[in-house]
Structure 1
């Protein structure tokens, strides 16, 4: 995610309180949350989601949604009841293994399902949820209704639950398919590869499939009168980008997508997905988001934003956080790549000078250092990782030297591809590549809410 300046300032002043997840003493009921330190009721216990198949009809004239989601999963414990995360329209029916199931909506986003027959551990099962109602405008936390009837879904971390039920946790990736029907004059864009686009009797039906596992907040649907830019990488990877009517000025930046992919690939290893592109919307949105294979771009998007979101395909999409406190693993790398490495390698900028200028400007500004990178706190995830994250990684690069730094971050990313990693994992891995004890460096940059000591602010060639 890359924020507009206005939203970044607003989030920096936000404070969100979250109650701890209640203990679940019944061994036959899946836990209603997975105890993430920031969002303890996100995700659900007792099963592993394998695939989501979402079928929806959308009417742009009145924002009405009619949908069915099928979830293929495997039970990890005996289950007489389990939860899904869902904050969308009214649920009409739920079935488990094609048998009617009881259901109850409770809490902020819980859909508790009670199968007719209990589920046994280790066995696959299928849940089908039918629901219908208006797509509610959530102002960047789910559905956003754009001008003229257009609509799209974007938001981190909870957008997915506004349009389909799921196990909404970074710890449970699954493959994904979307089948959407809209009036024939409208287009539908989503993740992965478009495998169907047919018009019959005044309706358009489009299918998108993601064969690589994806997290909920990284899925999207966008409905508009899009036009397209089709490109292809030298290795044959198809690139399909969509532009809303008032987003045509962004074509010039998106035409550089093959170059951007090649650049980021040179840093972090092979592009991890089967397709790429972008979705340029013209609704009110104060952030751009790294939706997998095809980021959502806000109207204010510039070239560095595109580099930022494409970098997320490696850091955030392929390698995902274990907990939301690990958010620096996503945003610090995306920001460093867009704000330092691209200007340095492609545009010839003196990023050492930029680093020193930034330190000089903010060294004595305590508010700049108030939010630690390793654990920014709930409600502050998307603050310091943008403005201090690049400084941390540049200092780490100078501490290690280019050869060790770039080899280490590439190896770490490839080793965790399609899985999860944490900031403690990263610290341990980088330490294994250095003969110098990095405890003080990491503690100073990541853990403390104060300016680092000079030896950590100006390591290696940054010394005066």
Structure 2
């Protein structure tokens, strides 16, 4: 996202509001989830084991592909959906969960046979007619409808299917995917996607990946999209609105699809014009573009307050500035292609994207990364920048806080100073290449940095990522 709340940090430019969520309650919930039915060995766990979001994701299976067919009416805010999940059991399963909140389930089958199901909070608990064998591929089809309700994250920000005056701003980090389709909703589970989205004629529906075309009949238009590379559920979108659309192919062969709300078009145009050069600059710095499609969704959503790195096509609540464009597209390497294994490590996403902003400024006539670092370090020890260590935010309420973005980027700058530019940029490229379409942890990044540089970096990482308060400079 953008800091503030992703732009400085916005969840990229507007910092998320911090709600009171205690580490004790999160830990207790995690223990309860771990001690649940999964112990029997035949039921999938109700969560993926993430201490910050204990019920996010599910155990016992992996979803290889989602095929989502949606029909949305912006006037009534009614959504009809059919989700077909192609999955593989990782253990014997007599029961498993899907993350799905709010919408009414009208039918559910497993391998075309009706299955029993019940709702339990955000969990859709499924009992197939016949137990699934470990290693068995199976298909779950869920039909549903209703009015999607956004969720409020621990920091107070909206997340999920967020209605706008002409459609919907669909942003799922960290919990929101479950508001519009049943999912294994944790970044540890990545899948390919197909989207078929029908909206009233005159509206545009934009999702991830390659645009496959549209057709209009009886006053409604159906759009088709395909995301072939693995994607975490929170990075999926199906945003709807009245958009001006621009399509072209870059010199590197990347297919770009920009959709801009007309109210934001004048302000967005000069920034979006730089997208090909930004992608090329990031390609040279970080390695080949991880996805074959790119672009931007610029909505007019004044009540949202952030931008999001929806995979391949970032989503902005208003016309972005250049730093935000750089930030969200840097996420395509760091956060999207190389995903988190646990939300605790979110600095690997937000710290990296923030440092990309610093590097872009440094290499395009702006302030150097060192001067940006120095200005931040000059803040007193009482400043929010030092409120908690970025490598251990402590709860879901803090994962979009200033330390994750700014102090995370400061950690990278200290690493750069310690190992020198050749080794530092070699480390970034090796990280993006070695974990492409996969996941990474802080421990793995430290090991890579030490291997590439030949230096012991444990003390540096401990000080800047895990030390309490304002670090002392060496």
- TM-score bracket for the superposition, by shorter chain length: over 0.9
Aligned to 1:458: none
**Structure 2: how far apart are the matches of 1:154 and 1:37?**
22
> Structure 1's 9 and 308: CA in aligned 2 closer, same or farther, altered over 3 A?
closer
Unaligned runs of 5+ in 2: 152-156
Aligned to 2:279: 261
How big is the shift at 1:300? 5.5
How big is the shift at 1:193? 0.7
Aligned to 2:69: 55
Q: In the alignment, which of 144, 160, 164 is matched to residue 181 of structure 2?
A: 164
Aligned to 2:137: 124
**Structure 2: how far apart are the matches of 1:128 and 1:412?**
37
Residue-pair matches, total: 451
**Structure 2: how far apart are the matches of 1:40 and 1:173?**
18
**Structure 2: how far apart are the matches of 1:386 and 1:450?**
16
Q: In the alignment, which of 166, 170, 183 is matched to residue 200 of structure 2?
A: 183
How big is the shift at 1:182? 1.2
Q: In the alignment, which of 15, 18, 21 is matched to residue 21 of structure 2?
A: 15
- 1:371 has 2:406 as partner: no
The answer (yes or no) to whether the contact 2:271–2:322 under 8 Å persists in 1 is yes
How big is the shift at 1:235? 1.9
Q: Secondary structure at the match of 2:453?
A: coil
How big is the shift at 1:140? 2.6
Alignment of 1:62-141 (within 5 A): 62-107=76-121, 109-138=122-151, 140-141=158-159
Alignment of 1:381-400 (within 5 A): 381-383=399-401, 384-400=403-419
Alignment of 1:266-305 (within 5 A): 266-283=284-301, 284-299=303-318, 301-305=320-324
**Structure 2: how far apart are the matches of 1:402 and 1:233?**
29
**Structure 2: how far apart are the matches of 1:336 and 1:14?**
29
Q: Secondary structure at the match of 2:389?
A: coil
Stretch deviating more after TM superposition (322-331 or 38-47): 38-47
Q: In the alignment, which of 370, 376, 386 is matched to residue 358 of structure 1?
A: 376
Cα RMSD for the two superposed structures? 1.6
Q: In the alignment, which of 204, 208, 217 is matched to residue 225 of structure 2?
A: 208
Deviation readout 1:362-382 (Å, 9 max, x if unpaired): 143364322111111111111
Aligned to 2:333: 314
The answer (yes or no) to whether the contact 1:332–1:389 under 8 Å persists in 2 is yes
**How does the TM-score come out when normalised to structure 1?**
0.94
Q: Secondary structure at the match of 2:59?
A: coil
The answer (yes or no) to whether the contact 1:232–1:258 under 8 Å persists in 2 is no
**Structure 2: how far apart are the matches of 1:159 and 1:36?**
16
**Structure 1: how far apart are the matches of 2:382 and 2:335?**
30
How big is the shift at 1:434? 2.7
The answer (yes or no) to whether the contact 2:172–2:233 under 8 Å persists in 1 is no
Stretch deviating more after TM superposition (430-439 or 53-62): 430-439
Shift >4 Å, 4+ stretches = 4-10
Q: In the alignment, which of 321, 331, 334 is matched to residue 350 of structure 2?
A: 331
The answer (yes or no) to whether the contact 2:172–2:236 under 8 Å persists in 1 is no
Q: Secondary structure at the match of 1:288?
A: coil
The answer (yes or no) to whether the contact 1:12–1:380 under 8 Å persists in 2 is yes
How big is the shift at 1:445? 0.5
The answer (yes or no) to whether the contact 2:205–2:241 under 8 Å persists in 1 is yes
